[in-house]
């Protein structure tokens, strides 16, 4: 029974004849660093809408090792709570081996970004992101200085 179920699932997965499109877009942001949170929900929604793909997923990826991507309710209280939580988890004011080696003072930002993650995948249908009512997509710049950031959107679907 189980073997037959897998066989049927494989047949559905590999033999469906649908055109799947992949579109890659870029966004540029200027950030302030220091755990700067930037709402990019509108940018992502616009990218999906303009892609011509009606249903699928969009992956938001930020190249680099001192920034991350996630979702949050983008309001002052939640933003401050997030920033304070990050400071408790990975404080700026302790010694980091990265700083001892490179002297750039941003060892904490690399650790924060590694814990946060550099990508997020969001489903969409009818060219609309399937986010919760109070859920926004944010980029967090953990670095110790302002940066010009490139964000990659990869939209996959039909």
Which tens digit of pLDDT belongs to each residue from 17-63? 678 999 999 999 999 999 999 999 999 999 999 999 999 999 999 99
The C-alpha atoms of residue 142 and residue 64 are separated, in whole angstroms, by 11
| Domain residue spans of the chain | 23-157
In this prediction, residue 7 carries a pLDDT of 56
What is the rounded average pLDDT of the residues 7-22? 64
- Answer yes or no: is pLDDT of 89 > 80: yes
Topology annotation, domain 23-157? Jelly Rolls (2.60.120)
Q: Is the four-CA dihedral 145, 82, 131, 55 of positive or negative sign?
A: positive
Q: Which pair of structure tokens corresponds to residue 100?
A: 């001892």
- Answer yes or no: is pLDDT of 151 > 70: yes
The C-alpha atoms of residue 156 and residue 20 are separated, in whole angstroms, by 7
The predicted-structure confidence for 67-85, as pLDDT tens digits, reads as follows 999 999 999 999 999 999 9
Q: Which pair of structure tokens corresponds to residue 125?
A: 């249908």
List the end-to-end C-alpha distance of the chain, in Å, as a whole number. 32
What is the rounded average pLDDT of the residues 112-116? 98
Contact in structure between 61 and 152 (CB atoms under 8 Å) = yes
In this prediction, residue 19 carries a pLDDT of 84
């Amino acid at each position: 029974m189980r073997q037959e179920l897998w066989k049927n699932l494989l047949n559905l997965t590999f033999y469906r004849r649908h055109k799947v499109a992949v579109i890659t877009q870029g966004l540029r942001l200027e950030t302030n660093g220091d755990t700067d949170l930037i709402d990019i929900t509108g940018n992502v929604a616009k990218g999906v809408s303009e892609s011509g793909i009606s249903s699928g997923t969009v992956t938001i990826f930020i190249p680099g090792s001192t920034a991350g991507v996630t979702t949050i309710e983008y309001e002052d209280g939640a933003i401050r709570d997030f920033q304070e939580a990050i400071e408790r988890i990975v404080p700026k004011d302790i010694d980091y081996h990265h700083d001892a080696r490179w002297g750039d003072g941003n060892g904490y930002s690399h650790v924060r970004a590694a814990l946060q993650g550099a990508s997020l995948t969001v489903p969409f249908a009818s060219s609309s992101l399937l986010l919760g009512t109070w859920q926004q997509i944010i980029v967090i710049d953990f670095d110790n200085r302002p940066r010009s950031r490139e964000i990659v959107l990869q939209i996959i679907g039909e």
